[in-house]
A = this chain, B = another copy of it.
Amino acid sequence: MTATYGALCEHGYTDLTAQAIADRTPKSKSWLFYHYDSKDDLVADFLGYLLERFERRLAEVGDRPPAVRLATFVDWYFEEPADDREAFHTALLELRAQAPYDDRFREQLRESDDRLQATLESILDDGIAAGQFRDHDTAEVAKLLLTTLDGARVRQLTVGRSTDLTDLKGTMIDRVIDDVLEDGVDYPVVEEGIGTLEGTHG
């Protein structure tokens, strides 16, 4: 999985070869593909691995107040990417662009999406239960937020003007999230380092 990550960062998805992955392991290409039927089999498995990693990281902030968990989730999409991370998300976007042609990728992306949606919904539900968020349709708001966050990431990669990204985050907080927060609850500032969360979306 680490070899696949490294090879994706270096070559992107379109130019990824089985050899490039094998070169990053102490094993041979034939050993690797004794375990996987094809490069795309390995890559589909890698998507599952990313989802597990993402969920482990989110579990680490599971005991914080709902507003902090919400801000952690949101801020993670708006972080200025390090070189490696940008290369990686660029490769993931290429891979997502192949999903319409590949059922396995599509299935994996749907599962990731369902789980991201469930996570965000449960943060919003917990916020209502804790009296920090107003009562609202959490499924609806979670979907709207995910769509905007996803659009923000794709635009960051393909149009790539990061000052816009900061403005956009502010607008999203003012115009969508503030309506959800109870009076007197502010959108929290999250400490650094949460950006090590790795997602499953490009």
Contact = CB atoms under 8 A, between A and B. Distances in A.
Interface of A: 12, 14, 86, 90, 93-94, 96-101, 106, 109-110, 113, 137, 140-141, 143-144, 146-152, 154-155, 157-161, 164, 167-168, 170-172, 175-176, 179, 202
A141 to B, nearest CB: 7
A171 B151 contact: no
Contacts of A175: 140-141, 144, 175-176, 179
20 contacts: A12-B101, A14-B98, A86-B100, A90-B97, A93-B96, A93-B100, A94-B98, A96-B158, A97-B202, A99-B158, A99-B160, A100-B157, A110-B159, A110-B161, A140-B171, A144-B148, A144-B171, A150-B154, A154-B154, A175-B179
- The A contact surface, by secondary structure, is helix
Contacts of A141: 171, 175
B97 A160 contact: no
B152 A100 contact: no
A46 to B, nearest CB: 16
Contact of A172 (B12, B113, B144): B144
Which 3 pairs of residues, A with B, have the shortest CB-CB distance? Answer: A151-B151, A147-B151, A150-B151
A124 B164 CA distance: 19
Contacts of A154: 96, 150-151, 154
